[in-house]
């Protein structure tokens, strides 16, 4: 049964619907590794039309967002992409947003279904600022073009250009014609494999209710340490200046002889302790990579030795440091 907001591109040949949290778009179109190689080589596009799209307009939009986000956006130049977090009062991650300003409007995309809670928070913080917040998910689809892509951006399209590729805010009505002209379509599993390879965290997978930005390496990319004036900033500054986060993100090379990938939430233990040993963390995302084989990201206790052999469930795992202990 298709997701109620399923992408029209699920009708393309070979399309296999993705599972949570990516319901509504294709996991792949029949050849996962070919699709990964296409993305890594700068060809194809990924349908991310299930992601939430929010706009903030008005003359005070950037100065207002600057007060709410972990990123320095008060003087964000038109066309410059950035990413930011919204934290709880205790510094825990609540939202991750990927944004660009076109000179008149700030465009953000966020996790599928996350736009409603994000908008509710933004609306609650408007006070007397001259800003307008709008849910544009029904009108605009996010489409990802990989780094190195020579695909021409359709005229008038808002674009977030990053080292990892371009995110287009494409009118939903143009999605099928764009796909027909700029294929091949690539599924989200290929993009996820490249994300894991690049050690890039994702809200809801690498995070839980108590994650702070330092644990995931989001300091610098999504958190600007030279600005104050946002909820949770005291925790960010205290941990940065005085302490260490309780957990750290690691990259895992998984035993390639296992048929099944360990799913999100699989316990991580010391290999020497076996499957009955004390849990030291959990798998956040696992993937099959076209060159590296089975790989994963995991969140483990900070004091786990960096050279320790680990087990993800019953699967042997060799770790690489992402966040220093």
**How much is the pTM?**
0.95
Residue 276: CB atoms within 10 A of its CB come to: 6
Residue 257: CB atoms within 10 A of its CB come to: 9
pLDDT at 2: 60
pLDDT at 1: 54
CB proximity list for 75: less than 8 A, separation 6 or greater: 62
pLDDT at 289: 97
d(Cα 54, Cα 136) in Å, to the nearest integer? Answer: 5
N-to-C CA span, the chain: 44
pLDDT at 258: 79
**Phi (first) and psi of residue 156, to 5 degrees:** 85, 0
**Residue 37 per-residue DSSP state:** H
Domain covering 1-244: architecture: 2-Layer Sandwich (3.30)
Instruction: State both tokens at 91.
Output: 């510094």
What's the whole-number mean pLDDT along residues 181-206? Answer: 97
Question: Is residue 228 over pLDDT 90?
Answer: no
What is the pLDDT of the chain when averaged over all its residues?
A: 96
Instruction: State both tokens at 312.
Output: 């993800």
* pLDDT tens per residue across span 78-124: 999 999 999 999 999 999 999 999 999 999 999 999 999 999 999 99
CATH class of 246-324: mainly beta
d(Cα 107, Cα 109) in Å, to the nearest integer? Answer: 7
pLDDT at 4: 64
CB proximity list for 240: less than 8 A, separation 6 or greater: 214, 219, 225
* pLDDT tens per residue across span 28-43: 999 999 999 999 999 9
Query: Phi-psi bin for 50: left (phi > 0), alpha (psi -120 to 50), beta?
Result: alpha
pLDDT at 237: 94
Kindly give the pairing relationship between strand 93-101 and strand 82-87: antiparallel
Binned at pLDDT 50, 70 and 90, residue 23 comes out as very high
Question: Dihedral through CA 295, CA 25, CA 110, CA 94, nearest 10?
Answer: -60
d(Cα 208, Cα 232) in Å, to the nearest integer? Answer: 16
**Residue 80 per-residue DSSP state:** -
**Residue 322 per-residue DSSP state:** S
Instruction: Give residue for tokens 């660009």.
Output: 100
Instruction: State both tokens at 13.
Output: 């040949």
Query: Are the C-beta atoms of 21 and 52 separated by less than 8 Å?
Result: no
Instruction: State both tokens at 125.
Output: 């913080």
* pLDDT tens per residue across span 229-288: 899 999 999 999 988 999 999 999 999 887 899 999 999 999 999 888 999 999 999 999
d(Cα 261, Cα 40) in Å, to the nearest integer? Answer: 22
Sign of the alpha-carbon torsion through 177, 30, 314, 20: positive
Domain segments of the chain: what residues? 1-244, 246-324
Query: For the CA atoms of the chain, what is the radius of gyration?
Result: 20
* pLDDT tens per residue across span 139-189: 999 999 999 999 999 999 999 999 999 999 999 999 999 999 998 999 999
pLDDT at 164: 95
């Amino acid at each position: 049964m298709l997701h109620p907001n399923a992408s029209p591109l699920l009708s393309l040949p070979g399309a296999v619907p993705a599972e949570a949290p990516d319901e509504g778009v294709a996991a792949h179109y029949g050849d996962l590794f070919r699709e990964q190689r296409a993305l890594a080589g700068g060809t194809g596009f990924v349908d991310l039309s299930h992601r939430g799209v929010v706009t903030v307009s008005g003359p005070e939009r950037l100065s207002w967002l600057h007060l709410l986000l972990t990123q320095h956006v008060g003087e964000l130049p038109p066309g410059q992409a950035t990413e930011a977090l919204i934290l709880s009062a205790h510094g825990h991650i609540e939202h991750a947003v990927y944004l660009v300003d076109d000179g008149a409007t700030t465009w953000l995309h966020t996790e599928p279904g996350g736009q409603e809670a994000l908008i509710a928070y933004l609306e609650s913080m408007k006070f007397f600022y001259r800003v307008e917040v709008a849910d544009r998910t029904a009108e605009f689809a996010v489409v990802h073009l990989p780094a190195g892509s020579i695909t021409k951006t359709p005229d008038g399209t808002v674009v977030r250009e990053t080292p990892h590729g371009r995110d287009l805010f494409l009118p939903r009505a143009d999605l099928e014609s764009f796909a027909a002209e700029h294929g091949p379509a690539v599924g989200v599993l290929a993009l996820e494999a490249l994300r894991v390879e690049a050690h890039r965290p994702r809200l809801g997978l690498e995070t839980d209710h108590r994650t702070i930005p330092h644990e995931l390496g989001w300091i610098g990319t999504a958190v600007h340490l030279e600005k104050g004036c946002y909820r949770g900033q005291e925790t960010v500054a205290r941990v940065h200046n005085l302490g260490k986060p309780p957990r750290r993100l690691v990259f895992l090379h998984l035993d390639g002889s296992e048929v099944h990938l360990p799913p999100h939430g699989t316990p991580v233990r010391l290999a020497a302790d076996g499957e009955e040993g004390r849990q030291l963390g959990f798998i956040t995302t696992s993937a099959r990579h076209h060159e590296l084989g089975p790989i994963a990201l995991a969140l483990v206790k900070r004091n786990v030795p960096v050279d320790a052999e680990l087990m993800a469930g019953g699967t042997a795992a060799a770790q690489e440091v992402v966040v220093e202990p």
